[in-house]
Structure 1
Amino acid sequence: MFKVGDKVVYPMHGAGIIESIEEREVLGEKSQYYVMHLPVGNMKLFIPLNNVENLGLRQVISPTMVKDVIEVLKTKDTATTLAWNRRYRANLEKIKSGNIFEVANVVRSLAQRENEKGLSTGEKKMYENACQILISELVLTEGSEEEAVRQRLSSALILA
Protein backbone atom coordinates (compact mmCIF):
# COMPACT_ATOMS: atom_id res chain seq x y z
CA MET A 1 0.00 0.00 0.00
CA PHE A 2 1.23 3.45 -0.84
CA LYS A 3 1.07 6.52 1.37
CA VAL A 4 0.61 10.23 0.83
CA GLY A 5 3.75 11.73 -0.70
CA ASP A 6 4.85 8.54 -2.48
CA LYS A 7 6.10 8.93 -6.04
CA VAL A 8 4.43 6.28 -8.18
CA VAL A 9 3.95 5.32 -11.83
CA TYR A 10 0.57 4.58 -13.35
CA PRO A 11 1.15 2.71 -16.64
CA MET A 12 -0.20 4.51 -19.72
CA HIS A 13 -0.37 7.80 -17.78
CA GLY A 14 3.04 8.35 -16.24
CA ALA A 15 4.54 9.24 -12.88
CA GLY A 16 3.00 11.33 -10.17
CA ILE A 17 2.72 11.92 -6.46
CA ILE A 18 -0.02 10.58 -4.20
CA GLU A 19 -1.58 13.70 -2.70
CA SER A 20 -4.26 12.08 -0.55
CA ILE A 21 -6.43 9.05 0.07
CA GLU A 22 -10.14 9.84 -0.14
CA GLU A 23 -13.40 8.02 0.12
CA ARG A 24 -15.68 8.65 -2.85
CA GLU A 25 -19.10 7.41 -3.83
CA VAL A 26 -19.34 6.20 -7.41
CA LEU A 27 -22.55 4.64 -8.74
CA GLY A 28 -23.87 4.37 -5.20
CA GLU A 29 -20.83 2.48 -3.94
CA LYS A 30 -18.27 3.99 -1.55
CA SER A 31 -14.62 3.20 -2.19
CA GLN A 32 -11.20 4.46 -1.15
CA TYR A 33 -9.12 6.21 -3.83
CA TYR A 34 -5.58 7.43 -4.17
CA VAL A 35 -5.59 10.99 -5.45
CA MET A 36 -2.53 11.21 -7.69
CA HIS A 37 -1.15 14.40 -9.23
CA LEU A 38 0.90 14.08 -12.42
CA PRO A 39 3.18 17.13 -12.57
CA VAL A 40 4.08 16.56 -16.24
CA GLY A 41 0.83 17.36 -18.00
CA ASN A 42 -0.71 18.70 -14.77
CA MET A 43 -3.35 15.98 -14.43
CA LYS A 44 -5.13 14.54 -11.39
CA LEU A 45 -6.17 10.88 -11.24
CA PHE A 46 -8.38 8.97 -8.82
CA ILE A 47 -7.15 5.39 -8.48
CA PRO A 48 -9.29 2.85 -6.60
CA LEU A 49 -7.30 1.23 -3.80
CA ASN A 50 -8.96 -2.14 -4.42
CA ASN A 51 -7.65 -2.20 -8.02
CA VAL A 52 -4.06 -1.00 -7.59
CA GLU A 53 -2.43 -4.36 -8.35
CA ASN A 54 -4.45 -4.90 -11.54
CA LEU A 55 -3.60 -1.40 -12.74
CA GLY A 56 0.14 -1.97 -12.24
CA LEU A 57 0.78 1.02 -9.96
CA ARG A 58 4.41 0.94 -8.77
CA GLN A 59 7.10 3.08 -7.13
CA VAL A 60 9.28 5.22 -9.42
CA ILE A 61 12.74 3.86 -10.16
CA SER A 62 15.73 4.71 -8.01
CA PRO A 63 18.09 7.50 -9.17
CA THR A 64 20.82 4.90 -9.76
CA MET A 65 18.68 3.25 -12.47
CA VAL A 66 18.42 6.41 -14.59
CA LYS A 67 21.74 5.79 -16.35
CA ASP A 68 20.49 2.30 -17.34
CA VAL A 69 17.38 3.83 -18.88
CA ILE A 70 19.51 6.33 -20.83
CA GLU A 71 21.70 3.44 -22.05
CA VAL A 72 18.62 1.71 -23.49
CA LEU A 73 17.92 4.87 -25.51
CA LYS A 74 21.50 4.98 -26.82
CA THR A 75 21.57 1.43 -28.17
CA LYS A 76 20.69 0.61 -31.75
CA ASP A 77 17.31 -1.10 -32.18
CA THR A 78 17.83 -4.57 -33.64
CA ALA A 79 14.17 -5.64 -33.68
CA THR A 80 12.90 -7.35 -36.77
CA THR A 81 10.64 -5.32 -39.01
CA LEU A 82 7.02 -6.26 -38.36
CA ALA A 83 3.94 -5.04 -40.16
CA TRP A 84 2.88 -1.72 -38.66
CA ASN A 85 -0.18 -3.20 -36.89
CA ARG A 86 1.87 -5.93 -35.20
CA ARG A 87 4.57 -3.44 -34.29
CA TYR A 88 1.93 -1.10 -32.87
CA ARG A 89 0.37 -3.85 -30.72
CA ALA A 90 3.76 -5.03 -29.48
CA ASN A 91 4.73 -1.47 -28.51
CA LEU A 92 1.37 -0.90 -26.82
CA GLU A 93 1.88 -4.01 -24.68
CA LYS A 94 5.33 -2.77 -23.66
CA ILE A 95 3.88 0.58 -22.59
CA LYS A 96 1.02 -1.09 -20.70
CA SER A 97 3.53 -3.23 -18.79
CA GLY A 98 4.60 -0.16 -16.84
CA ASN A 99 8.24 -1.30 -17.02
CA ILE A 100 10.38 1.80 -17.63
CA PHE A 101 12.92 -0.19 -19.66
CA GLU A 102 10.16 -1.44 -21.98
CA VAL A 103 8.86 2.13 -22.36
CA ALA A 104 12.42 3.31 -23.13
CA ASN A 105 12.66 0.51 -25.69
CA VAL A 106 9.48 1.78 -27.40
CA VAL A 107 10.79 5.37 -27.40
CA ARG A 108 14.10 4.26 -28.90
CA SER A 109 12.62 2.04 -31.61
CA LEU A 110 10.00 4.62 -32.65
CA ALA A 111 12.59 7.43 -32.69
CA GLN A 112 14.86 5.34 -34.91
CA ARG A 113 11.98 4.38 -37.19
CA GLU A 114 10.98 8.06 -37.44
CA ASN A 115 14.51 8.94 -38.56
CA GLU A 116 14.70 6.09 -41.08
CA LYS A 117 11.23 5.82 -42.61
CA GLY A 118 8.84 8.09 -40.73
CA LEU A 119 5.92 7.12 -38.50
CA SER A 120 2.23 6.72 -39.12
CA THR A 121 -0.12 9.08 -37.29
CA GLY A 122 -0.91 6.39 -34.71
CA GLU A 123 2.75 5.64 -34.10
CA LYS A 124 3.55 9.36 -33.76
CA LYS A 125 0.90 9.64 -31.04
CA MET A 126 2.27 6.51 -29.35
CA TYR A 127 5.80 7.94 -29.53
CA GLU A 128 4.70 11.20 -27.89
CA ASN A 129 2.81 9.30 -25.18
CA ALA A 130 5.76 6.98 -24.46
CA CYS A 131 8.11 9.99 -24.27
CA GLN A 132 5.74 11.73 -21.85
CA ILE A 133 5.56 8.63 -19.62
CA LEU A 134 9.35 8.25 -19.63
CA ILE A 135 9.98 11.95 -18.99
CA SER A 136 7.47 12.09 -16.13
CA GLU A 137 9.22 9.27 -14.28
CA LEU A 138 12.70 10.69 -14.77
CA VAL A 139 11.53 14.14 -13.63
CA LEU A 140 10.20 12.71 -10.36
CA THR A 141 13.13 10.34 -9.86
CA GLU A 142 15.79 13.01 -10.28
CA GLY A 143 13.87 16.11 -9.23
CA SER A 144 14.87 17.65 -12.58
CA GLU A 145 13.01 20.09 -14.78
CA GLU A 146 10.94 18.61 -17.58
CA GLU A 147 12.82 20.49 -20.32
CA ALA A 148 16.22 19.33 -19.03
CA VAL A 149 15.08 15.69 -19.06
CA ARG A 150 13.56 16.12 -22.52
CA GLN A 151 16.90 17.45 -23.85
CA ARG A 152 18.84 14.55 -22.28
CA LEU A 153 16.52 12.05 -23.92
CA SER A 154 16.88 13.78 -27.28
CA SER A 155 20.67 13.73 -26.96
CA ALA A 156 20.68 10.03 -26.07
CA LEU A 157 18.44 9.18 -29.02
CA ILE A 158 20.74 11.05 -31.41
CA LEU A 159 23.61 8.81 -30.32
CA ALA A 160 21.68 5.64 -31.13
Structure 2
Amino acid sequence: MLAIGDKVVYPMHGAGVIEAIEEHEVLGECQLYYILTMPYGGMKVMIPLKNVESVGLREVIDEPEVYKVIDVLQGTPVAVHSSWNRRFNVNLSKIKSGSIYEVAEVVRNLMVQDQAKKLSTGERRLLDTAKQILISELVLACDKDIQSVEKWIDGLFRENTPGD
Protein backbone atom coordinates (compact mmCIF):
# COMPACT_ATOMS: atom_id res chain seq x y z
CA MET A 1 0.00 0.00 0.00
CA LEU A 2 1.17 3.50 -0.79
CA ALA A 3 1.82 5.99 1.99
CA ILE A 4 1.84 9.74 2.58
CA GLY A 5 4.92 11.25 0.93
CA ASP A 6 5.13 8.62 -1.82
CA LYS A 7 5.72 9.92 -5.34
CA VAL A 8 3.27 8.43 -7.81
CA VAL A 9 2.13 8.74 -11.42
CA TYR A 10 -1.53 9.05 -12.37
CA PRO A 11 -1.84 8.28 -16.11
CA MET A 12 -3.06 11.21 -18.24
CA HIS A 13 -2.44 13.59 -15.30
CA GLY A 14 1.24 13.12 -14.51
CA ALA A 15 3.22 12.67 -11.34
CA GLY A 16 2.38 13.88 -7.87
CA VAL A 17 3.01 13.34 -4.20
CA ILE A 18 0.54 11.69 -1.84
CA GLU A 19 -0.16 14.48 0.64
CA ALA A 20 -2.87 12.73 2.65
CA ILE A 21 -5.19 9.76 2.91
CA GLU A 22 -8.64 11.03 3.81
CA GLU A 23 -12.15 9.72 4.10
CA HIS A 24 -14.72 11.59 2.01
CA GLU A 25 -18.36 11.07 1.24
CA VAL A 26 -19.12 11.22 -2.46
CA LEU A 27 -22.59 10.43 -3.79
CA GLY A 28 -23.60 9.12 -0.36
CA GLU A 29 -20.69 6.67 -0.14
CA CYS A 30 -17.85 7.09 2.36
CA GLN A 31 -14.47 5.85 1.22
CA LEU A 32 -10.76 6.50 1.59
CA TYR A 33 -8.97 8.67 -0.97
CA TYR A 34 -5.36 9.41 -1.77
CA ILE A 35 -4.96 13.19 -2.00
CA LEU A 36 -2.26 13.95 -4.58
CA THR A 37 -0.56 17.29 -5.18
CA MET A 38 0.74 17.62 -8.72
CA PRO A 39 3.92 19.72 -9.04
CA TYR A 40 2.99 20.80 -12.57
CA GLY A 41 0.24 23.34 -12.00
CA GLY A 42 -0.24 22.63 -8.28
CA MET A 43 -3.47 20.73 -8.93
CA LYS A 44 -4.90 18.48 -6.20
CA VAL A 45 -6.40 15.12 -7.20
CA MET A 46 -8.46 12.66 -5.16
CA ILE A 47 -8.19 8.97 -6.07
CA PRO A 48 -10.31 6.36 -4.28
CA LEU A 49 -8.03 3.71 -2.76
CA LYS A 50 -10.25 0.99 -4.21
CA ASN A 51 -9.60 2.33 -7.76
CA VAL A 52 -5.79 2.54 -7.57
CA GLU A 53 -5.15 -0.49 -9.75
CA SER A 54 -7.88 0.21 -12.29
CA VAL A 55 -6.63 3.78 -12.90
CA GLY A 56 -3.02 2.60 -13.25
CA LEU A 57 -1.53 4.55 -10.34
CA ARG A 58 2.14 3.58 -9.98
CA GLU A 59 5.28 4.77 -8.23
CA VAL A 60 7.61 7.28 -9.91
CA ILE A 61 10.62 5.77 -11.69
CA ASP A 62 14.01 5.58 -10.01
CA GLU A 63 17.37 6.90 -11.23
CA PRO A 64 18.40 3.94 -13.45
CA GLU A 65 15.06 4.23 -15.24
CA VAL A 66 15.72 7.93 -15.94
CA TYR A 67 18.63 6.79 -18.14
CA LYS A 68 16.28 4.47 -20.04
CA VAL A 69 14.00 7.48 -20.64
CA ILE A 70 16.98 9.40 -22.04
CA ASP A 71 17.70 6.46 -24.36
CA VAL A 72 14.09 6.55 -25.60
CA LEU A 73 14.20 10.32 -26.13
CA GLN A 74 17.47 10.04 -28.07
CA GLY A 75 16.38 6.95 -30.01
CA THR A 76 15.33 6.77 -33.62
CA PRO A 77 11.75 7.94 -34.13
CA VAL A 78 9.21 5.33 -35.11
CA ALA A 79 7.78 5.62 -38.61
CA VAL A 80 4.58 7.63 -38.33
CA HIS A 81 1.25 6.76 -39.91
CA SER A 82 0.30 9.00 -42.79
CA SER A 83 -3.21 9.48 -41.44
CA TRP A 84 -3.17 12.13 -38.70
CA ASN A 85 -6.15 10.63 -36.85
CA ARG A 86 -4.52 7.18 -36.74
CA ARG A 87 -1.29 8.79 -35.46
CA PHE A 88 -3.29 10.75 -32.90
CA ASN A 89 -5.08 7.63 -31.61
CA VAL A 90 -1.86 5.58 -31.39
CA ASN A 91 -0.15 8.39 -29.48
CA LEU A 92 -3.15 8.91 -27.20
CA SER A 93 -3.24 5.22 -26.26
CA LYS A 94 0.49 5.36 -25.46
CA ILE A 95 -0.09 8.31 -23.14
CA LYS A 96 -3.03 6.56 -21.47
CA SER A 97 -0.88 3.46 -20.86
CA GLY A 98 0.85 5.23 -17.97
CA SER A 99 4.27 3.97 -19.14
CA ILE A 100 6.89 6.72 -19.02
CA TYR A 101 8.71 5.01 -21.88
CA GLU A 102 5.65 5.17 -24.13
CA VAL A 103 5.05 8.80 -23.13
CA ALA A 104 8.72 9.53 -23.94
CA GLU A 105 8.22 7.88 -27.36
CA VAL A 106 5.26 10.18 -28.05
CA VAL A 107 7.29 13.24 -27.01
CA ARG A 108 10.24 12.17 -29.18
CA ASN A 109 8.16 11.28 -32.24
CA LEU A 110 6.02 14.42 -32.12
CA MET A 111 8.97 16.74 -31.44
CA VAL A 112 10.87 15.28 -34.40
CA GLN A 113 7.75 15.49 -36.57
CA ASP A 114 7.25 19.11 -35.47
CA GLN A 115 10.81 19.93 -36.57
CA ALA A 116 10.17 18.42 -40.01
CA LYS A 117 6.61 19.65 -40.53
CA LYS A 118 4.52 21.68 -38.11
CA LEU A 119 2.02 19.68 -36.07
CA SER A 120 -1.72 20.05 -36.36
CA THR A 121 -3.49 21.73 -33.45
CA GLY A 122 -4.66 18.37 -32.06
CA GLU A 123 -1.19 16.84 -32.24
CA ARG A 124 0.33 20.01 -30.72
CA ARG A 125 -2.02 19.61 -27.72
CA LEU A 126 -1.12 15.93 -27.51
CA LEU A 127 2.60 16.81 -27.50
CA ASP A 128 2.03 19.42 -24.79
CA THR A 129 0.12 16.87 -22.67
CA ALA A 130 2.76 14.15 -23.16
CA LYS A 131 5.56 16.59 -22.39
CA GLN A 132 3.81 17.80 -19.22
CA ILE A 133 3.32 14.20 -18.03
CA LEU A 134 6.94 13.31 -18.81
CA ILE A 135 8.31 16.45 -17.15
CA SER A 136 6.17 15.99 -14.04
CA GLU A 137 7.59 12.51 -13.47
CA LEU A 138 11.18 13.52 -14.21
CA VAL A 139 10.85 16.46 -11.78
CA LEU A 140 10.07 14.03 -8.96
CA ALA A 141 12.45 11.29 -10.13
CA CYS A 142 15.43 13.67 -10.44
CA ASP A 143 14.45 16.08 -7.65
CA LYS A 144 14.74 19.07 -10.00
CA ASP A 145 12.47 22.01 -10.77
CA ILE A 146 10.14 22.12 -13.77
CA GLN A 147 12.14 24.74 -15.72
CA SER A 148 15.39 22.73 -15.40
CA VAL A 149 13.75 19.55 -16.69
CA GLU A 150 12.05 21.42 -19.57
CA LYS A 151 15.37 22.98 -20.62
CA TRP A 152 17.10 19.61 -20.30
CA ILE A 153 14.55 17.85 -22.56
CA ASP A 154 14.58 20.67 -25.12
CA GLY A 155 18.39 20.56 -25.03
CA LEU A 156 18.39 16.86 -25.82
CA PHE A 157 16.58 17.65 -29.06
CA ARG A 158 18.70 20.64 -29.98
CA GLU A 159 22.01 18.85 -29.38
CA ASN A 160 21.12 15.43 -30.68
CA THR A 161 18.19 15.23 -33.04
CA PRO A 162 16.98 11.63 -32.80
CA GLY A 163 17.91 9.52 -35.79
CA ASP A 164 21.05 11.52 -36.64
TM-score above 0.5, yes or no: yes
What is the Cα-based RMSD across aligned positions, in Å?
Answer: 0.9
1: distance between equivalents of 2:131 and 2:60?
Answer: 16
2: distance between equivalents of 1:36 and 1:66?
Answer: 22
Residue 105 of structure 1 aligns with which residue?
105
1: distance between equivalents of 2:22 and 2:108?
Answer: 38
Structure 1 residue 64: Cα displacement:
1.6
1:140 aligns with 2:140: yes
2: distance between equivalents of 1:52 and 1:79?
Answer: 34
**Share of identical aligned residues, percent?**
51
Structure 1 residue 75: Cα displacement:
1.6
Q: Which amino acid aligns with 2:68?
A: D
Q: How does 1:88-103 map to 2 (within 5 A)?
A: 88-103=88-103
Runs of 4+ off more than 3 Å: none
2: distance between equivalents of 1:16 and 1:98?
Answer: 13
Unaligned runs of 5+ in 2: none
Which string of whole-angstrom CA distances, capped at 9 and with x for unpartnered residues, describes residues 30-55 of structure 1? 11100000011111000011111010
1: distance between equivalents of 2:63 and 2:140?
Answer: 10
Q: How does 1:1-160 map to 2 (within 5 A)?
A: 1-158=1-158, 159=160, 160=162
Structure 1 residue 156: Cα displacement:
1.4
2: distance between equivalents of 1:24 and 1:80?
Answer: 45
Structure 1 residue 8: Cα displacement:
0.2
Which string of whole-angstrom CA distances, capped at 9 and with x for unpartnered residues, describes residues 50-86 of structure 1? 1110100000000121121012111221324331101
Which string of whole-angstrom CA distances, capped at 9 and with x for unpartnered residues, describes residues 103-142 of structure 1? 0000000001111111111110110010000000000011
Unaligned runs of 5+ in 1: none
2: distance between equivalents of 1:150 and 1:68?
Answer: 17
Partner of 1:4, secondary structure, is: coil
Structure 1 residue 6: Cα displacement:
0.4
